[in-house]
Amino acid sequence: MSESIRPVSRRLDAPANPRHRWRMIKDRMARHGVAFGGIGVIIAIVLIFFYLLYVVFPLFIPASSEAVAQYAVPGEGSTLYLEMEEQAGLAVRYSDAGRVLFFDTADGTSQGEVTLSQLGEATITTLARDVPGSHTVALGLSDGRALVVQHKFSISYPNDVRTVTPRLDYPYGEEPLELADSGMTLRRLAMSDGEDRLLFAALDAEGQLHVVKYHKESSFLDEEVTLEREAEVVEDEGVEADYLLLEPSQRHLYLADGSGELLHYDVSDEEATLQERVKLTPKGQGLGSLELLVGGYSLLAGSDQGEVIQWFPVRDEHNHYKLTEIRRFHSQDRGIASIATEERRKGFLVADELGRVGIYHATAHRTIMVEQVSDAPIVRMSSSPRSNAFLAEDSNGQLHFWKVENEHPEVSWSSLWGKVHYEGYEEPGYTWQSSSASNDFEPKFSLTPLAFGTLKAAFYAMMIAVPLAILGAIYTAYFMAPRMRKVVKPTIEIMEALPTVILGFLAGLWLAPVMEDHLPAIFVLLLLMPLAVLLFGYLIHRLPSGLRARIPEGWEAALLIPVVTGITWFSFAISLPMENLLFGGDMRSWLSNEMGIGYDQRNSLVVGIAMGFAVIPTIFSIAEDAIFSVPRHLTNGSLALGATPWQTLVRVVILTASPGIFSAVMIGMGRAVGETMIVLMATGNTPVMDFSIFQGMRTLSANIAVEMPESEVASTHYRILFLAALVLFMFTFVFNTLAEIVRQRLRRKYSSL
């Protein structure tokens, strides 16, 4: 009796039962989840990159300018001085007719005028201003006196409308101050209003130089200031001065003539003394204009051939200050007619005989722009306090009002990455010093010492971490007993969970002082520890076979624990006697005095040990997994062919695992480059470029952490910090990309083993 078999049709890819179906669903969900997570990570990284670019990009947007208005110079007489208020909506004009006119910059309409009736029969022959922003000027008169006046712009908001009310004050009374002999016309005048004294330098019609000091005494009750006069006539040095300048610290006085010959006087003592003679312009070129850059430290000399040359005092080998040419600007090829400096930055405006106005920045050594403002030569200029507008008066009596968009003039390739000769420095250098309490401060935005510090910290960390982590991974994966490996590997991986802020705290407050107090012990330990380990291994190898057989295979490392502990104790025990015997009781002083090596308590060695401790688990874990994952048939085959375990390790295992080992090193390098808290707490955090292991550093990440909270949003400082973040991002991106390329090549090369 035969039974018929009914065929059952079923799709070949259909699961055999519900359990298999559910497994396939989970596999698909896992596959899609992993793909979604990977794509999400890539999108997040790309968004971070573009956000950094978004914040940094305005640093490199070119400046722009726009002509707003042109009108006849308001008021009577010739212009002696122009200045604008904060928002550049109102300006003041001093004229030689004895009038001070306030006018609207948009159309030139008068907003008030003051006639200086107290001048009497005297006429105004010259004018000098105090530091930018003080709004104080001195009017030199034809009778040898000077009237000090101060214009002010009071701001009020009636009905929520910004209203500017100008006025004129007389901080030292309405009576002019005596400078030269009665009836002697003042031809040139310079002034500096300090806390303790009011200083004048004046040239009369006969060419005599008068230095007049008015010492201030304030009343305790009503704060009224009384002046005590002290005058001096300086010996004639044979220079027909066309320019007379006093710097704000009231120490340096500069006289220059049209040929570019300059006399530099020191007026800080009771008598003015001639310091040096300097030729400001190149041979064959005359001087068209001379101004002090904001802060008064630098001189800007404009030649009649279109060059602007920056000078400032630099200490020579005899510790004397000498005026030194620092840099030149030559974007204009006609004679310089006028120079106007910015009030709060190291920028300046230059007008030439063709009516062109150029905007420059001294520190960045950068030409911002050159624009044709007028068809006639510009004779006088003024920059607004925020440097977003300027007024220019031409020889035809026309005023030109321009708006300027120039937010970040301090940024250039040279200021970020090159050597810059900063004011007060003896030579060019790489310096980061981003802020100060004064507008006179010259910002120093060099990223070079920060990038150097980042690489230096990573270098010393990797010097300590790579040998220990890689060699430890090799021993753990290849030689260590399985039971011991189950204890050692998780223990080291748990180290990675330690917060880096704790490691930085311990490194800064515990490790750094210990190393400073026991510096010889550190070097003895670094010298004796490798020798002791090698000697111990040799002795183990030389033990009788019967005794050596009692040591379980793979547990030899446990016997090293007392050796390491004993060598460490011995090194610290002999530290003090060795320091007394060899280094006079103080190794740090010996390094400084005898070797010329400075010692900073929080130095690169401390950072290397602390960061190495943080990086070791990462490198160890990845490298150990790579070595342990080498197929067992490769090692067995090598041993079967007669290779020793060491030969198998070097020629088979390490080569096969080399992609993973290299990835471990590069990932550790990326971790070290981006580390923040350890370098923030365990270094002196000073942005210096010194290869010494005994000096600290400042890294890009630590600098961002320190300065970002105090930076003004959208300022140059703020955007440069984001640029530092972008540089750090590119560091890690380049390292990881190179690591992946090398890893793939190693993988293809040794995959056939």
Is the pLDDT at 731 greater than 90? The verdict is no
**Is 424:249 a contact under the CB 8 Å cutoff?**
no
Sign, Cα dihedral of 37, 42, 43, 47: positive
Q: How far separated are the first and last CA of the chain, in Å rounded? A: 62
CA distances from 528 to 537, 539, 566 (A): 14, 16, 11
Q: Are the CB atoms for 603 and 671 separated by under 8 Å?
A: no
pLDDT digits (tens, 9 = 90+) for 214-259: 988 877 666 677 888 888 888 766 667 889 999 998 899 999 998 9
Return the pLDDT at 736: 80
* Strand-pair category, 378-383 with 366-372: unpaired
If you ran DSSP here, which 8-state letter would residue 133 be given?
Answer: T
Which range (108-112, 461-465, 673-677) has the least confidence? 673-677
Q: What is the pLDDT of residue 745?
A: 79
Share of the chain above pLDDT 90, in %: 46
- Tens-place pLDDT, residues 42-55: 999 899 999 999 99
Residues 415 and 363: their CA atoms lie apart, in Å, by 7
Per-position DSSP letters for 481-531, written without gaps between them: -HHHHHHHHHHHHHHTTS-HHHHHHHIIIIIHHHHHHTHHHHHHHHHHHHH
Q: Look at residue 446 in the predicted model and tell me its pLDDT.
A: 93
Cα separation, 618 vs 670, in Å, equals 11
3-state secondary structure of 102: strand
Stretch 714-730: mean pLDDT, rounded? 93
At residue 73, the pLDDT reads: 94
Q: What angle do CA 536, 538, 539 make, to 5 degrees?
A: 65
Largest CA distance in the chain: 150
In this prediction, residues 118-125 reach a mean pLDDT of: 87
- How many Cα atoms occupy the beta-carbon half-sphere of 132 within 13 Å? 29
Q: What is the CA radius of gyration of the chain?
A: 37
Rounded to an integer, the average pLDDT of 687-713 is 89
Q: Is residue 359 scored above 70 in pLDDT? A: yes
Nearest-angstrom CA–CA distance, 216 and 228? 7
Q: SS3 breakdown of the chain: % helix, strand, coil, rounded to 5?
A: 40, 25, 35
pLDDT of residue 184: 81
* pLDDT given at position 1: 44
Residue type for position 23: R
What is the DSSP code string of 184-200? PPEEEEEEEE-SSEEEE
Q: Residue 109: which pLDDT band, with cuts at 50, 70 and 90?
A: very high
Residue 547: is it exposed, middle or buried by C-beta count within 10 angstroms (0-12/13-18/19+)? Answer: exposed
Q: Is the pTM of this model over 0.75?
A: yes
Q: Could you tell me the two tokens for 157?
A: 């908001």
- pLDDT for the residue numbered 543: 82
Question: Please, what is the angle between helix 716-750 and helix 654-674, to 10°?
Answer: 180
Question: Region 266-273: what's the mean pLDDT?
Answer: 86
Three-state SS for 698? coil
DSSP string, 57-76: GGGGSPPEEEEEEEEEPPSS
**pLDDT(69) > 90:** yes
Nearest to 200 by CA among 210, 188, 191: 191
What are the structural domains of the chain? 455-512+602-750 (1.10.3720.10)
* pLDDT for residue 662: 87
Amino acid symbol at 68: V
